[in-house]
Chains A and B, each alone.
Chain A
Amino acid sequence: MNRAVWLWGILFAIWVVLSWHFTPLLIVFGLATCTIAVWVGVRMGTVDRESVPVHLIPGALLYVPWLVWEIFKSNVRVARIILAPRLRVDPSIVHFRASQKTDLGRFIYANSITLTPGTVTTGIVADDFEVHAIVQSEIDGSEENDMNRRVTALEGEAA
């Protein structure tokens, strides 16, 4: 129930930011739309820890800036590979284990891997991750383990 209230608040905030019209008609439309959307979600049983992960917000405030910095660094690395006079790619598909316990944690980890250029998650079976890397040596370095550790901490913090 608490999560339904959170979802309603987030949806209505997005409505207000995107609309920014404060005529009574449009406000009522917004209130009604958000209420119907949340009601349908609750009835379908889709409003839970996974779909409304508000418990991750405090951890995400630390994780997202770190992730943006990682994305920047790997962008520079891939840019150097592309701009080098001789193309030095050594692509390969690597398997490794992730330590997250929930599907949501694995989803965040997989998306973080894909979001950093140079590595793309191509498949997940339970905790077995299959990742394509543009340079093979980049995947089993300490960086991926670091990311794994941080995502596990993120999902565990408020579990």
Chain B
Amino acid sequence: MDQVAAVASWTLLLGGSFFLLTGSLGMVRLPDVFTRMHAGGMTDTMGAGMILVGMAVYNGADLVTVRLLLILAFLWFTSPIATHAVAKAALSGGLDPYTLEGGHAAAADDSTGPHGGDAAGTEGGATS
């Protein structure tokens, strides 16, 4: 049983490290802020998740494990809100998302970008 827990926890810790590293690599390789958010999402979800669960398994069933899982729950509740805020701020600021056809669009200089016309979604900001 001890062996099983050790193998499981090390597998989870190594898996989490893999997703953290891959997410960091994505931060460098991907072309713009929107695609990089997806890499950031990887470190938030599986990276942090597998490492926290791995630590919980390593620790065994006691109070510290409950606290570790509580950290994970709070992290998974809050991180999508932060990601959404970054995405919405970038769009409201007039940043044109990278696309295959458009490549790196020049920094948007007006409100006619893909998001500028969306009247209800981006109050203010688009014209600044």
The count of residues in chain B whose C-beta lies closer than 8 Å to any C-beta of chain A is: 44
A33 to B84, CA, bound (A): 32
A92-B99, A93-B97, A130-B121 known; A118 vs B87 contact (CB < 8 Å):
no
Q: Nearest Cβ in chain A — how far from B58, in angstroms?
A: 19
Residues in A whose Cβ lies below 8 Å from that of B81: 111
A72-B46, A123-B88 known; A118 vs B67 contact (CB < 8 Å):
no
Q: Nearest Cβ in chain A — how far from B77, in angstroms?
A: 8
Q: Nearest Cβ in chain B — how far from A77, in angstroms?
A: 10
Residues in A whose Cβ lies below 8 Å from that of B19: 75, 79
Chain A at the B interface: SS class:
mixed
Segment with Cβ contacts to B, from A13-21, A41-49, A96-104: A13-21
Residues in B whose Cβ lies below 8 Å from that of A110: 80, 84
A91-B34, A122-B88, A132-B34 known; A79 vs B114 contact (CB < 8 Å):
no
Which residues of B are in contact with A by a Cβ distance under 8 Å?
Answer: 18-19, 22-23, 25-26, 29-32, 34-35, 37-39, 41-42, 45-46, 49, 63, 66-67, 70, 76-77, 79-81, 83-84, 87-88, 91, 97-100, 114-115, 118, 120-122
Which residues of A are in contact with B by a Cβ distance under 8 Å?
Answer: 14, 17-18, 20, 68, 71-72, 75, 78-79, 82-83, 87, 89-93, 110-111, 114-123, 125, 130, 132, 134
